[in-house]
């Protein structure tokens, strides 16, 4: 039986154990992660935490709706054993009608349904030498990576606050919660679940990125680059260096995106391959 369980009534130990041992594992689904990035969240629980489906939600003008939090690309059903398409559909049907609108990204292990839209993600397996991986770069990306090297760019640790400051100055899209990103970064760094790398030119920060690193996944979660950083191909230099640092490993570089054509083509130019996940939408409005 699938039971709707409020966050305050959740058996966190059993819930996190289900996520940790799930076939569909995603770091985004851990209780501590959702506590940071979601305004509110509850869970659909099958039996004694045999499978779970976190439901992030918000309230606006006394109306409740469920939507994907920032920095949380895929959720959906997580199970210790294989779960049928019928059971997956049962979870979705059990999303309470009190949520007048539901807009959720499901994980890539879930099966397609007529009420879902396919979305694109790019990943790059790093189980080969850098020289072989570099051969799969597009001609333009090879050139861009070399431009970064010729500009004598350097990678060093930096802070999430510094990257946020660059984004506020050089980007128009900044409607995510800076406070949540800072809290998430602090937790990730403290618990050795990721890292932040800045790109420097003559000791001046010109860009960088925040990566999650868990279960052999290196997730490109957040990045920003100044005008000079873009001109000097700092992004290509950074990603190429990360690939070089993790060559011949079982790691997968997860670009965490690619639905926008220009961004998708950028990720693809590193030799990354497409994976699909699904977007579920329901509305009673």
State how many domains the chain has: 2
Residue 16 lies in a domain: yes
Specify if 116 maps to a domain.
Answer: no
Cβ contacts of 73 within 8 Å, gap of 6 or more: 26, 28, 105, 121, 256, 257, 277
Average pLDDT, whole number, for the chain? 94
Q: Which of 97, 94, 101, 35 is nearest to 67 (CA)?
A: 101
Q: Which pLDDT tens digit goes with each residue over 88-113?
A: 999 999 999 999 999 999 999 888 77
Burial 15-41 (b: 16+ CB within 10 A, else e): bbebbeebebbbbbbbbebbebbbeeb
What are the residue ranges of helices labelled H in 136-260? 139-150, 160-170, 178-190, 227-231, 234-245
Are 128 and 107 in a shared domain? no
- Of the candidates 54, 85, 111, which is a domain's last residue? 111
Q: Are residues 140 and 84 in the same domain?
A: no
What's the pLDDT band for 152 if we cut at 50, 70, 90?
very high
For residues 15 and 133, membership in a common domain is answered with: no
Q: Are 107 and 275 in contact (CB under 8 A)?
A: no
139-150 pLDDT, tens digit per residue, is 999 999 999 999
Of all residues in the chain, the percent with pLDDT exceeding 90 is: 86
The rounded distance, in Å, linking the Cα atoms of 190 and 96 is: 36
CATH number at residue 206: 3.40.630.30
197 and 260 assigned to the same domain: yes
128 shares a domain with 86? no
Q: Which of 70, 92, 111 is the last residue of a domain?
A: 111
Residue showing tokens 């606006």: 60
pTM value?
0.94
Pick from 75, 201, 100, 222: which is nearest to 148 by CA? 201
Q: Are residues 149 and 259 in the same domain?
A: yes
Look at residue 60 in the predicted model and tell me its pLDDT. 87
Task: Find the distance separating the first CA and the last CA of the chain, reported in whole Å.
Answer: 29
Helix axes 234-245, 139-150, angle to 10 degrees: 90
The reply to whether 141 and 41 lie within a common domain is no
* CA pair distance 76, 204, nearest whole angstrom: 41
Phi, psi of 270 (to 5 degrees): -90, 5
On whether residue 282 sits in a domain, the answer given is no
As a whole number of angstroms, the distance between CA 181 and CA 187 comes to: 10
137 and 88 in a common domain: no
In a domain, residue 285? The reply is: no
Q: How many CA atoms lie within 13 A of 12 on its CB side?
A: 9
Q: Are residues 229 and 271 in the same domain?
A: yes
Residue 52: give the domain boundaries.
Answer: 2-111
Side-chain-facing half-sphere of 216: CA atoms under 13 Å: 12
Task: Evaluate whether residue 260 is within a structural domain.
Answer: yes
Strands 51-60 and 40-46, sheet pairing:
antiparallel
């Amino acid at each position: 039986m699938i039971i709707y369980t409020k966050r305050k009534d959740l058996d966190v130990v059993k819930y996190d154990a289900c996520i940790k041992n799930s076939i569909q594992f995603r770091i985004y689904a851990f209780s501590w992660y959702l506590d940071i990035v979601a305004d509110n969240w509850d869970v659909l629980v099958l039996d004694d935490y045999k499978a779970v489906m976190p439901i992030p939600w918000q309230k606006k003008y006394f109306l409740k709706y469920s939507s994907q939090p920032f920095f949380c690309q895929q959720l959906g059903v997580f199970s210790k054993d294989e779960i049928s398409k019928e059971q997956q559909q049962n979870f979705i049907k059990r999303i309470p009608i009190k949520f007048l609108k539901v807009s959720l990204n499901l994980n890539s292990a879930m099966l397609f349904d007529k009420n879902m839209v396919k979305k694109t993600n790019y990943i790059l397996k790093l189980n080969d030498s850098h020289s072989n991986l570099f051969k799969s770069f597009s001609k333009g990306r090879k050139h861009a990576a070399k431009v970064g090297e010729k500009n004598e760019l350097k990678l060093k640790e930096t802070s999430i606050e510094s990257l946020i400051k660059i984004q506020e100055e050089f980007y128009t899209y900044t409607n995510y919660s800076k406070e949540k990103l800072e809290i998430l970064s602090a937790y990730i760094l403290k618990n050795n679940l990721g890292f932040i790398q800045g790109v420097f030119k003559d000791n001046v920060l010109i860009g960088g990125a925040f990566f999650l690193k868990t279960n052999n996944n290196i997730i490109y979660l957040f990045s920003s680059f100044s005008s000079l950083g873009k001109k000097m191909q700092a992004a290509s230099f950074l990603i190429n260096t990360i690939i070089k640092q993790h060559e011949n490993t079982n790691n997968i570089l997860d670009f965490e995106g690619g639905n926008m054509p220009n961004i998708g083509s950028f990720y693809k130019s590193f030799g990354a391959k497409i994976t699909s996940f699904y977007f579920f939408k329901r509305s009673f409005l």
